[in-house]
Chain A
Amino acid sequence: MLAIMKREFKAYFSSPTGFVFMGFFLLLTGFFFVMSNVLHASPDYNAVLGSITFIFLIVVPVLTMRLISEESKQKTDQLLLTSPLSLTKMVLGKYFAAVSVFLITLLVTALYPVMLSFFGSVAVWEILGGYIGFFLLGSSFIAVGLFVSSLTDNQVIAAIVTFVSLLFMWLIDWIQQGIPVDRVSGIVFTVLLAIGAAFFVYFATRTIIVSIAVFAVGSGVVTGMYFLNPIVFDGIIVRVLDWFSLLARYRDFAMGVLSISPIVYYVTFCAIFVFLTIRVIEKRRWS
């Protein structure tokens, strides 16, 4: 795993990607720092971190687009997959390489609050919390990017799809406000989910019987719930979308609240996407 991570890390800096990511990220962080802290003589550094979450959406695809897609395009995955290295270690090595580039970049920005501290009192714990939150948020973004990169061998497509997915997650809070919360739309939504799952199973396995079974089980559960406990369907769409709202969890950190549940949430989120990546690569070998 260490070997993969080392190689991947070096690859970032033997091509422009690592520099583009770091340069762009640091430039904009610097810009926001000057605008909100230096020019306004404000010690509120977390405002800067809050502003750059959106910038981060744009630069994460740069970091993740080539992770897996390039391997399959250049056929170098043949080397990795026929070596005695397990697939999990390979994917984790790549993931940690991207995360470490991100972490190093983030550590460079830590200079700003240190500078601030010379000229006044800064809320140390709040900023530390903000950094931990930002790191977890970023790691989750990278996990999504890693997953998307495993779906295609075209880097441009990987970058665009990653950006759109992250943008969607970023916008979820706004989307939620305009979504119906009544029972009927909840039922329609869950049935659509069951149909979606059936289609997914069909495209994954190409067996109609299993797909129909999945749909039958799904709609069976919906019907059962309707008679047993119809309250479940009230506002279910909002609650499902909430699972993907990475930013909602980040706000706690920005206020300096360090609680265990958002940390668990982020770590689980990353783990799920890394796991999905492994499954996608594994599945490609079978088809």
Chain B
Amino acid sequence: MIQVEKLTKKYGQHIATKNLNFTVNKGEVLGFLGPNGAGKSTTMNIITGYISATEGTVMIDGYDVLEKPEEVKKRIGYLPEFPPLYTEMTVKEYLDFVSDIKKVSKAQKNKDMEKIMDLIKIADVRKRLIKNLSKGYKQRVGFAQALIGNPPVLVLDEPTIGLDPKQIIEIRNLIKDLGKEHTIILSSHILPEVSAVCERVIIINKGEIVASGTPDSLSKHLNNSSRLSLRVAGPEESVIKVLNNIPGVKLAEYNGIKEMDTVDVLVEGDKDVDIRKPLFFALSRAQYPILQMKSMDLTLEEIFLQLTTKEREVS
């Protein structure tokens, strides 16, 4: 559905995106992850035809964004970083106007309008001026605008920004629902959001793709050992000695004392070896009870940090 090839955008000397390649299949929800200024918005602006790329092509449904802009724009609903709202209009007036410029027929408009307003939960503010709405409502009106005309592709730039936690969950569920029929690209720097909603994630940093895959595979890929965090009641040195003698344990590290007469230890095991049971028996034999055991699998957050900071060290 969406094919991006060798996408490069330069602002004078500054390179915003460098040679991006990716495709999004029909009905897929793709997450675009990266720190601020990584080039997420730039890429989205290019895909939607708001700005032009310096090099490279974007194809939507087989149409090139540069050659057939109107065909492409007809197929995309776009929620930019700042929702493009005319604040002196009421919500209803605004959505009517968007329907008009998106060339939605009158019959279709009447049918869709109520549905969209119910879906986004803005029906109760339809007669209010947009400038008097709260940030969360403004964001939702912006979202509603993207859905008008029922475009097969949705490009959402940080769709849950400014919403309260309850609304965030609602919008996430909505995106999941929409993902059944639509192809969606969504950007975010909130990681749980991406892992909750997206089937595939692309991590981008300084204009380049640094990793891509499903949230699970990304986490596995970077995890080349299993790590556990332990709190054991016992003296520091002997606990570490016991742990280091267990087969399968690569490294046991002292990790501070947070409770009286206990010690916190970080244990790293060999890849694909479950060291939890041998650990338990070894420590119980030594009479050092385990008070706490936590798996330290890399979260998306850590992957993200690892990838983006590694990048920084190289450059």
Contact = CB atoms under 8 A, between A and B. Distances in A.
A78 B50 contact: yes
Contacts, number: 70
Given A82-B76, A86-B70, A285-B50, A3 B84 contact: no
A280 B103 CA distance: 25
A11 interface: yes
B89 A85 contact: no
Interface string A216-257: 000000000000000000000000000000000000000000
A15 interface: yes
Given A82-B78, A83-B73, A84-B74, A285 B51 contact: yes
A78 B84 contact: yes
A285 B101 contact: no
B245 interface: no
B88 A80 contact: no
Given A83-B102, A85-B101, A285-B52, A78 B89 contact: no
A3 B97 contact: yes
B27 interface: no
Contacts of B50: 78, 81-82, 285
B97 A75 contact: no
Interface centre among B73, B84, B93 (most CB of A within 10 A): B84
Given A15-B88, A76-B86, A78-B78, A84 B52 contact: no
A65 B89 CA distance: 19
Interface string B78-114: 1010101111110001000110111100000000000
Nearest to B10: A287
Contacts of B51: 285-286
Given A75-B80, A75-B82, A82 B88 contact: no
A11 to B, nearest CB: 6
A121 interface: no
B145 A79 contact: yes
Among B85, B87, B93, B101, the most chain A Cβ lie within 10 Å of the Cβ of: B101
B84 to A, nearest CB: 4
B91 to A, nearest CB: 14
Contacts of B97: 3, 6-7
Contact of B101 (A4, A10, A15, A287): A4
Main secondary structure on B side of the interface with A? loop
A85 B72 CA distance: 11
Nearest to B148: A83
Interface in A70-127: 74-86
Of the four ranges (under 10, 10 to 19, 20 to 34, 35 or more), the interface on chain B belongs to: 20 to 34
A81 B145 contact: no
Contacts of A259: none
Interface in A267-287: 285-287
Interface residues of A, number: 26
Contacts of A76: 84-86
A207 interface: no
Contact of B88 (A4, A11, A78, A83): A11
B162 interface: no
A261 interface: no
Given A4-B101, A14-B89, A83-B101, A78 B74 contact: no
A81 B45 CA distance: 10
B98 A79 contact: yes
Contacts of B145: 79
B289 interface: no
Contacts of B88: 11, 14-15
Interface in A190-216: 206
B84 A79 contact: yes
Contacts of A82: 48-50, 73, 76, 78
Interface string A6-42: 1100110011000000000000000000000000000
B78 A3 contact: no
A76 B103 CA distance: 18
Contact of A81 (B12, B49, B93, B100): B49
B54 to A, nearest CB: 8
Given A80-B101, A82-B49, A84-B70, A75 B84 contact: yes
A280 to B, nearest CB: 14
Nearest to B157: A78
A79 B146 CA distance: 9
Contacts of B100: 2-3, 6
Interface string B28-71: 00000000000000000100111110000000000000000010
Interface of A: 2-4, 6-7, 10-11, 14-15, 74-86, 206, 285-287
Given A6-B97, A74-B87, A78-B78, 20 more contacts: A3-B101, A7-B97, A11-B86, A75-B80, A75-B84, A76-B84, A77-B84, A78-B50, A78-B80, A78-B82, A79-B78, A79-B80, A84-B101, A84-B102, A85-B103, A86-B70, A285-B50, A285-B52, A286-B51, A287-B11
27 contacts: A2-B100, A3-B100, A3-B101, A4-B101, A6-B100, A7-B86, A11-B86, A11-B88, A75-B84, A76-B85, A77-B84, A78-B78, A78-B84, A79-B80, A79-B84, A79-B145, A82-B76, A83-B98, A83-B101, A83-B102, A84-B70, A84-B73, A84-B102, A85-B101, A85-B103, A206-B12, A285-B51
